Amino acid sequence: MVNEEKLKILMVECSEEDTERVSNILVQGGFQSDCLRVSTAIDLHDALLTRNWDVILSDYDLPQLNAQDVLQAVREQDLDIPLIIVSSHVGEEAAEHIMALGAYDFVMKRNLARLVPAIRRSLHEVENYQRFITIQNALQKSETLFQAITSNLPGVVFQFLLTAKNQIGFPYVSDASETLLGLLPKKLMDNPRLFPELILPDDRESYHQLMMTSAEQLATWNWEGCIQVKGDTDIKWISLRATPRKMTDGATIWDGIMINITRNKLAEREIARSREQLAELSSYLQKVKEQERARIAREIHDDIGGTLTAIKCELFPCMDTTLRKPEFYQRKAKSVECLVDRVIDSTRRISLDLRPGILDCGIVAAVQWQAKEFSDRTGIACKVSCGNEEIPLDSDLAVAIFRVFQETLTNISKHAHASRVQVKLVELDKLILLEIIDNGCGITNIDMEKQDSFGIRGMRERCQQLKGSFHISGDPEKGTKVTILIPTDNLEQQTGYVVGLESKLKKTTI
């Protein structure tokens, strides 16, 4: 604010006498003035350039300079200095004209008593105008910042209004509404009923109830529900969060944001489905484990136990004191020998079922042996192609790969109706690639999504536990292709490479 005791005044005046009169009036009015008098355009231009002035007092019409010229000079230098006309011959029409051009006031020289109040009023107007410009600039900067923030938020920023008569409105909606809701901001603000119409019928009641509860309790309005944009077949999950406040007229207004949470909801559903499948797989594996234990127990009891009982029965007559011919003992010895061979064969068979001894010879030999066993048992030709004669692997890793291979062949024999199987086992930069392709009927997505497809789930889980990947695809004309990729070491470092290589393999045809 300008100091009223010290005032810098530029006077556009020819008369020194009038200048002196004005200075005395200002002193009487409480101003200590620093006054400079000019009467030509050149002097006026220099004065405006060299000093800062608080007010300009100008005669209306001088021989070389008039009030309009003064206003023009002030505008050209973009100065905000109040101009007051002090003249002895200003008509009413001329006064109105100069005021319209930008003069703050006019005072007749014969009535200089109005000069001090006019100066005070003009200075106050300038101060208010400068304050207004400062506030306007701050408001514009705040508006720009707000628009920048809302345009980069992953959602719709909005204001929602509920009047005392339960009429709704959107005083403000950000530009993101077109992307999220399929509605332009102006269209939604003009017709606020369009948003509730997007909500699916099952979620409209909860939307309305939570809104009314928030209005009554002035609590945060949290709502999640589904919407469907007109002309769009997809359903979107929306999360709405807004804070209410009460207006003086009884209306409630919310400031909030709406976010698309469809991906999160789909991920939650996928996680829940995966957990359910994992629980089913765990239950199935426990059931299979118990069945396998029962089978092994029966085999041991019925086969080995029965054979050992038969051996005991053969030996029992040889343990008494009755004298018998040598032929009797020879016959018993041969019988016992045959029974012992049967026990050895049964033991070997059960042992191979539990863990094939061929695995001790390496994964390559184990895969080739299993392929031959499969061909001999089913009559389906199975050709194995290996990049190396031997691939050194950790025993747990070798067993995992072998079991996946076994399960794949089991599925082929049960469901594929194939006549030929091609197997590829190679080592790729610390990764093991096992690829099995058959020429059968080809697995479908429905087959893979079946509730009882525990074989596929088990293979996938086994590969994931080893930080590897499992991919299966089918084609009715080309059959089924199973691909597994498992890192041989540095599992955490290899995971990214596995994902990249897997995406390339998925693009290859069977």
| Three-state SS sequence of 16-82 | HHHHHHHHHHHHHCCCEEEEEEECCHHHHHHHHHHCCCCEEEECCECCCCEHHHHHHHHHHCCCCCC
Range in 145-159, 288-302, 351-365 the model is least confident about: 288-302
- The strand pairing partners of 36, in sequence order, are 10
| Residue 389 clears pLDDT 70, i.e. is over it | yes
Q: Span 311-324, mean pLDDT?
A: 78
Q: SS3 for 429-461, per residue?
A: CCEEEEEEEECCCCCCHHHHCCCCCHHHHHHHH
| Residue 508 clears pLDDT 80, i.e. is over it | no
The confidence score (pLDDT) of residue 170 equals: 94
pLDDT in tens, 408-425: 898 898 888 899 999 999
- For residues 401 and 397, what is the distance between their CA atoms, to the nearest angstrom? 6
Mean pLDDT of the residues in the chain:
83
| Residue 104 clears pLDDT 80, i.e. is over it | yes
Tell me the pLDDT band of 239, cut-offs 50, 70 and 90.
very high
pLDDT in tens, 251-260: 999 999 999 9
Tell me the pLDDT band of 493, cut-offs 50, 70 and 90.
very low
The confidence score (pLDDT) of residue 355 equals: 67
pLDDT in tens, 341-366: 888 887 777 776 666 677 778 888 88
The confidence score (pLDDT) of residue 352 equals: 67
| Residue 33 clears pLDDT 90, i.e. is over it | no
| Residue 8 clears pLDDT 80, i.e. is over it | yes
Tell me the pLDDT band of 495, cut-offs 50, 70 and 90.
very low
- For residues 364 and 425, what is the distance between their CA atoms, to the nearest angstrom? 8
The confidence score (pLDDT) of residue 5 equals: 60
Range in 43-52, 219-228, 454-463 the model is least confident about: 454-463
| Residue 175 clears pLDDT 60, i.e. is over it | yes
| Residue 183 clears pLDDT 80, i.e. is over it | yes
Q: Span 108-119, mean pLDDT?
A: 85
Whether residue 432 contacts residue 425, with contact meaning beta carbons closer than 8 Å, is answered with yes
* Position with higher pLDDT, 13 vs 451: 13
The token pair that represents 405 in the structure block: 């291979």
The confidence score (pLDDT) of residue 63 equals: 82
364 contacts: CB under 8 Å, gap ≥ 6? 386, 388, 389, 390, 391, 425
| Residue 161 clears pLDDT 50, i.e. is over it | yes
The token pair that represents 253 in the structure block: 């207004």
Whether residue 150 contacts residue 157, with contact meaning beta carbons closer than 8 Å, is answered with yes
Q: Span 481-508, mean pLDDT?
A: 60
Range in 327-336, 343-352, 492-501 the model is least confident about: 492-501
Percent above pLDDT 90 for the chain: 22
- Give the single-character DSSP code of 379: -
The confidence score (pLDDT) of residue 452 equals: 61
User: Residue 427: helix, strand or coil by DSSP?
Assistant: strand
The confidence score (pLDDT) of residue 285 equals: 65
Q: In which residue are the tokens 């064969």 written?
A: 345
Neighbouring C-beta atoms of residue 353, cutoff 10 Å: 12
Q: Global pTM?
A: 0.46
| Residue 3 clears pLDDT 80, i.e. is over it | no
The confidence score (pLDDT) of residue 225 equals: 92
* Position with higher pLDDT, 207 vs 87: 207
* Position with higher pLDDT, 279 vs 170: 170
Through-space distance between the first and last CA atoms of the chain, rounded to whole angstroms: 85
Range in 163-167, 172-176, 190-194, 449-453 the model is least confident about: 449-453
| Residue 316 clears pLDDT 80, i.e. is over it | no
| Residue 494 clears pLDDT 70, i.e. is over it | no
The confidence score (pLDDT) of residue 497 equals: 45
* Position with higher pLDDT, 289 vs 362: 362
Q: Name the residue among 304, 290, 390 with its Cα closest to residue 339.
A: 304
Tell me the pLDDT band of 400, cut-offs 50, 70 and 90.
confident
Percent above pLDDT 70 for the chain: 90
The confidence score (pLDDT) of residue 138 equals: 87
Q: Name the residue among 160, 153, 211, 166 with its Cα closest to residue 188.
A: 160
The confidence score (pLDDT) of residue 451 equals: 62
Q: Span 356-382, mean pLDDT?
A: 86
The confidence score (pLDDT) of residue 234 equals: 84
Is 76 exposed, middle or buried, given 0-12, 13-18 or 19+ CB atoms closer than 10 A? exposed
Q: Span 76-99, mean pLDDT?
A: 82
Tell me the pLDDT band of 281, cut-offs 50, 70 and 90.
low
- For residues 445 and 438, what is the distance between their CA atoms, to the nearest angstrom? 17
Strand order in the sheet with 221-227: 168-173, 155-162, 252-260, 236-246, 221-227
Q: Span 197-206, mean pLDDT?
A: 92
**How large is the angle between the packed helices 92-101 and 67-76, nearest 10 degrees?**
0
The confidence score (pLDDT) of residue 30 equals: 82
The confidence score (pLDDT) of residue 188 equals: 93
| Residue 476 clears pLDDT 50, i.e. is over it | yes
